Structure 1
């Protein structure tokens, strides 16, 4: 099996992964998964597609992730892993698609408009 390369995005986070056969190590920005994502919830988010398809421990995953916050990064990695698993076996799509793991969440922060304090916040108005 060759190396599979996919990307995942969430908000302003971009994750690029390289998936190859191995013993199940996940390296994020040259750190172990436990070191990069200290929270159990974030590690669970990253491992969800592997657990759902029973592919945990079969592949080594190298991840480069940048931008956004730590939760957006975790969800970007989850999308990239899901896309890679679908490339390996098309039947995984039937399991991952209903869970929403193949859907890119494109919501981003709305930009600040000129003349306003925030994106939609108007200045205080008083009639008198």
Structure 2
């Protein structure tokens, strides 16, 4: 029963992906949108990216994570998970703040694709000019 109690909740964002991370007492299980993390992120680099904040604060097997992600692509979702997890860890224990901040996990990567403008081929690319 106590494993279902959320210790902290963190919302992470990157590009157009938004991740809600629920931090619970446990043994290190990570569920992303109802699947195991290895099943959801088949690329090992994305799994490692998500787990970075836990490695930095030396809490790999102390918490279970339940993550819900919407929007974006795989890399954006992994970055959003990392951001949300970092925020949740800081909310749970304020002493983690300095370590997590020093590694840059609390910084929201605000780079997004620029919108396409009318009368142009892309965001900045113009249609080919023809003199005649």
Query: Does the pair score TM above 0.5?
Result: yes
| CA–CA distance in structure 1, aligned partners of residues 69 and 107 of structure 2 | 18
Displacement over 3 Å in runs of 4+: none
Could you say which residue in structure 2 is the equivalent of 1:49? 53
Equivalent in the alignment of 1:39 = 43
Q: Which residue of 1 aligns with 2:25?
A: 21
| Structure-2 separation of matches of 1:110 and 1:86 | 32
Unaligned runs of 5+ in 2: none
1:127 Cα deviation (Å)?
4.7
* Aligned partner of residue 63 in structure 1, secondary structure: strand
Tell me the TM-score normalised to structure 1 length.
0.95
2:11 aligns with one of 7, 14, 18: 7
> What's the offset of the Cα at 1:125?
2.5
Name the count of aligned residue pairs.
128
Task: Answer with 90-99 or 34-43: which moved more.
Answer: 90-99
Gaps of 5+ in 1: none
CA RMSD of aligned residues (A): 1.3
